[in-house]
């Protein structure tokens, strides 16, 4: 039996049948176990507790950062590999025991690895760089460790790399270096750099995974000018044809799905305002044409305009967006973000009103999916 989700001729399949289901991000599933201070032990208790809560609430799968966030967290892996690997495997095995799937995201923050090696961000596009060497080693190590875990449903490169690519105003928007020194043009990462890194990552995963699980980029929804930013360095809105071309480049070869993160109910694309329904109708049709299912790796709302929207208004926005995922047959989508500790931005706990509402909403949506697929 094949483990996890796989793309079979344009359809996400799980255990031999088309899959439709909504999950939730659990960003710190793995890194909550990391030592807080030098000399501390790895502690999987938060991860185990969170997985238990998710299983009790019938949440089928999660997306999680398979590593640290900033450069100074890399030594947790590099200096304590066996303990690190043991903690990661314990968490994956506990998820397997509880029946919760995981989509691990390998290189969450775009500048983390290159900053550790004191290389520019464009090192992602240089096959000879230390950044790429680490990518190869870590990808091979983690896929070898986790390939036989039934809880692993897919593999993700990183988080929203497309948003930093080819920015016409990159000089004003480069993230600061940890030592305060200035960045320069070599930190202006491009689609070509990202495409190169995605391609090699995908090849390594495909070579090491006997189950052919889906591979995803972790991209956010592409910018409305993503093609023209790369081609001409301009904030000119893409045409539909240009958008489709750049979508394929941001999801090369072995990338099995089109990854998007959706935080809008209305947005301007192709020179016009589109509702979420219109956008999903267009996007799901485009994905079907290239035989790569749509994976909405994050969704939520950030477009309520009043200073302090009521809980009822927030819940209505969530209900609308989740309903759109079901209505347009988005096979896999994940709300942002469950955190047992309540510390990650825009997160919820299981005891909060927001958490109780969203867990119930996910269950309701999955019941609707089940009705549609009988």
Give the domain ranges of the chain.
Answer: 5-372
Quick one: pLDDT band at residue 266, thresholds 50, 70, 90?
Answer: very high
How do residues 288-315 score in pLDDT, each as one tens digit? 999 999 999 999 987 776 778 899 999 9
Topology at the third CATH level for domain 5-372: TIM Barrel (3.20.20)
Q: Tell me the pLDDT of the chain averaged across its residues.
A: 95
CA-CA distance, 302 to 270, in Å (whole number)? 22
Over range 238-265, report the average pLDDT.
96
pLDDT score at 318: 97
% of the chain exceeding 90 in pLDDT:
89
pLDDT score at 302: 76
How do residues 272-291 score in pLDDT, each as one tens digit? 999 999 999 999 999 999 99
Say whether pLDDT at 228 is over 70: yes
In order of 42, 56, 303, 348, the CA distances from 98 in angstroms are 21, 9, 35, 21
pLDDT score at 301: 86
CA-CA distance, 119 to 129, in Å (whole number)? 8
Over range 126-139, report the average pLDDT.
98
In order of 60, 100, 185, the CA distances from 93 in angstroms are 15, 10, 44
pLDDT score at 160: 98
Least confident window among 11-15, 95-99, 125-129, 167-171: 167-171
CA-CA distance, 350 to 329, in Å (whole number)? 27
Which residues 6+ apart lie within 8 Å of 37 measured at CB? none
Quick one: pLDDT band at residue 179, thresholds 50, 70, 90?
Answer: low
Task: Read off the pTM.
Answer: 0.96
Quick one: pLDDT band at residue 177, thresholds 50, 70, 90?
Answer: low
The phi, psi pair for 31, rounded to 5°, reads -75, -10
């Amino acid at each position: 039996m094949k483990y996890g989700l796989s793309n079979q001729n344009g359809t996400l399949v799980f255990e031999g049948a088309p899959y439709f289901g909504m999950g939730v991000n659990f960003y710190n599933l793995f890194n909550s176990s990391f030592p807080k201070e030098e000399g501390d032990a790895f502690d999987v208790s938060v991860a185990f507790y969170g997985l238990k809560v998710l299983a009790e609430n019938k949440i089928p799968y999660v997306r999680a950062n398979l590593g640290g966030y900033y450069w100074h967290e890399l030594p947790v892996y590099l200096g304590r590999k066996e303990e690190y690997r043991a903690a990661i495997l314990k968490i994956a095995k506990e998820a397997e025991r509880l029946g919760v799937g995981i989509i691990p995201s390998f290189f969450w923050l775009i500048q983390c690895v290159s900053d550790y090696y004191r290389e520019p961000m464009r090192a992602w596009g240089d096959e000879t760089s230390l950044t790429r060497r680490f990518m190869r080693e870590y990808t091979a190590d983690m896929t070898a460790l986790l390939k036989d875990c039934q809880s692993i449903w897919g593999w993700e490169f990183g988080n929203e790399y497309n948003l930093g690519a080819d920015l016409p105003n990159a000089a004003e928007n480069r993230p600061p270096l940890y030592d305060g020194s200035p960045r320069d043009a070599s930190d202006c990462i491009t689609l070509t750099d990202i495409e190169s890194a995605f391609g090699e990552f995908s090849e390594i995963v495909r070579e090491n995974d006997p189950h052919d699980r889906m591979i995803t980029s972790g991209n956010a929804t592409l910018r409305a000018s993503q093609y023209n930013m790369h081609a001409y360095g301009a904030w000119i809105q893409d045409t539909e044809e240009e958008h489709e071309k750049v979508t394929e480049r941001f999801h090369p070869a072995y990338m099995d799905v089109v990854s998007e993160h959706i935080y809008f109910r209305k947005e301007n694309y192709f020179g016009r305002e589109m509702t979420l329904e219109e956008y999903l109708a267009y996007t799901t049709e485009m994905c079907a044409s290239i035989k790569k299912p749509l994976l909405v790796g994050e969704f939520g709302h950030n477009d309520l305009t009043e200073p302090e929207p009521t809980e009822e208004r927030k819940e209505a926005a969530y209900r609308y967006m989740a309903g759109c995922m079901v209505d347009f047959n988005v096979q896999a989508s994940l709300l942002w973000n469950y955190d047992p500790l309540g510390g990650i931005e825009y997160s919820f706990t299981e005891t909060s009103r927001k958490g109780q509402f969203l867990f119930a909403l996910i269950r309701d949506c999955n019941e609707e999916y089940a009705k549609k697929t009988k």
